[in-house]
Chain A
Amino acid sequence: MNILVCIKQVPDMESRFKVNAVGDWYDTADLAWRMNEYDEYAVEQAVQLKEQVAGADLTVLCIGGERVKETMKKALAMGCDRGVHILDEDSYQKDPYAIASLIAEFAKDKNFALIFTGLQSQDRGSAQVGGMVAELLSLPSLTTLVDFSYVDGNVSGKRELEGGTRSRVSCSAPALVTCQLGLNTPRYPTLPNIMKAKRKELLSIPAADLNPQAARLQTLSMTPPEKKGSGLILEGDPAELADRLIQLLKEKTTVLA
């Protein structure tokens, strides 16, 4: 049984973001990079499935420049068997359709029984790539899962809806699932597994070799949000701040009356 998990490297969202010189993306200098949080749940679920099914083989795929190999190594250390790096230094210029096309082109003749992706990326938040990969490969897909199980070719799970409601859904493999936060508890790679990961296969394929498709979306500009600036900002010594704040809450709210 072949399993694929698709991951993305994103900046730490706590970073201070600046717009790049061209004005169409964020400046990538001085950022800390990590695995997209949704994808950590996808990797964990894929590794659990691999551990469940004897003889399963798990590939992790990532698109981007040389830098993304660091994030792939984490996925390998979490338990993926091999890595496929689709090399593309300008992947940020590709839209979700172009990204999904590369993944589908790679996956189409590999007989993956299950494909895992995150629900969305933290930087773009489009929630398109997983669903589009499934459609391009004519696979059923279950999205936004907070629960997953696989038994004898049957995939079942729970989708997270709004307001705390969940729906029970299922389909037959081969299938694609997208993973919502909280699906499982992603493991931390252990030191021996980090060492082992260094010896795992990490194949690099230039994006140009995967029949790249033109983007259907064009980013015209990236800008910082307009600062509404209506709020009061208090800075200084915590004890003094607490006094000022209590005074303020007494004036502006009725809760301390």
Chain B
Amino acid sequence: MKALLVGEYREGKLLESSYELIGFAQTLGAEFELFLVGSTDQLPQVDGKLHLADVAAAGEFNPALHKQLVLDAAQKAGADTIVFLHSSYGWDLAPRVALALNAAQVSEVVEAAADGYLLPACNSKLRRTVKATTDRSVVTLQVGAFMAAEPGGTPQVEELSVAAGGNTEFGGYEQAEAGEVDLGKAEVIVSAGRGVGKPENVAMIEALAKALGGEYGASRPVVDAGWVPHDRQVGTTGQVVSPKLYVACGISGAIQHLAGMKKSEFVLAINTDKDAPIAEIADVLVVADIKQFAPALTAKLVG
């Protein structure tokens, strides 16, 4: 395998997750070169060739142009495998590159197997092993699935020339409004998932959190439904937390949620479904309906 690793750069910074790409290549023992739309003062610390396009010319968001730059670098590197992170940058760019190369795309790889790649399916309740039938392939890696390489080394920079181009406009970033709570500081977090059933039931999660001396949070569907404000969302698009105790109430455990809480010291899951992916990382799974169990537990704790 000769891999081209597509690093990420946002708001003037190289993203740490870029080192996971290097970790992946090292795990496979693959020869690799790097690609980055970035800046010479934010270079990844790694030995090897880096195809660098100046972000001042290429912009942080210009997928049509970035596609062309990746293709240029892939050709120079003689790469047969183009590797992205399965992130908002990677999943946007990967299909564009795959089509241009007439290459298969393998999305959200969690493990490289002898005969192909392993991917999650059906909310991680199943796993698929797939292989590309094309000579070249485009791969996106699940964030967190591969151990990040330790930074160290100096890349040999090859500047890519950037021609004007693109069919989209970028109008800047917006940050989530700072909310009333910083879940990152809480020692105990009790989170509500879809299993709480209705907005009125969020109160029982809040009560349990209070009884345990912590804060309440929520999974994405509960936030999207408007039952809980966004600043309490745990997961990749919300907050990444690592409290002493995390209580997942009626949360099945979508990958995006697990990535936001799996570093918690102790995970208690309360769920009616023993097969839910949350069970895989829970230290204790209480098989119960959260609507009955939360009030029972709160009563014992305050009683």
Contacts and interface: CB of A to CB of B under 8 A. Distances in A.
Interface stretch (A70-78, A82-90, A191-199, A218-226): A218-226
Given A140-B168, A249-B245, A216 B92 contact: no
B88 A161 contact: yes
B125 A132 contact: no
B275 interface: yes
A160 B237 contact: yes
B282 to A, nearest CB: 5
Interface residues of B, number: 96
A252 interface: yes
Q: How large is the interface on A (under 10, 10 to 19, 20 to 34, 35 or more residues)?
A: 35 or more
Contacts of B274: 233
B173 A166 contact: yes
A182 to B, nearest CB: 4
A55 interface: no
A233 B99 contact: no
A169 B167 CA distance: 11
Contact of A246 (B88, B223, B300): B300
Interface stretch (B23-31, B131-139, B151-159, B198-206): B131-139
Interface string A132-155: 100110001111100000000000
B246 to A, nearest CB: 10
Interface string B5-20: 0000011000000000
B279 interface: yes
A125 B284 contact: no
Interface of B is mostly: mixed
Interface in A204-257: 214-225, 227-228, 230-235, 238-239, 241-243, 245-246, 248-249, 252-256
A219 B122 contact: no
A126 interface: yes
A220 B113 CA distance: 11
Contact of B131 (A15, A217, A252, A254): A217
A128 B106 CA distance: 9
Interface stretch (B36-44, B45-53, B75-83, B286-294): B286-294
Nearest to A168: B171
Given A17-B122, A218-B133, A169 B286 contact: no
A129 B273 CA distance: 31
Interface in B73-101: 86-89, 91-92, 94-96, 98-100
Given A162-B237, A242-B299, 20 more contacts: A26-B121, A125-B119, A128-B91, A131-B92, A132-B99, A162-B87, A164-B176, A167-B61, A167-B171, A168-B171, A217-B105, A217-B106, A220-B115, A220-B116, A225-B120, A230-B283, A233-B284, A233-B285, A234-B284, A256-B212
5 contacts: A15-B122, A131-B91, A132-B95, A142-B168, A164-B237
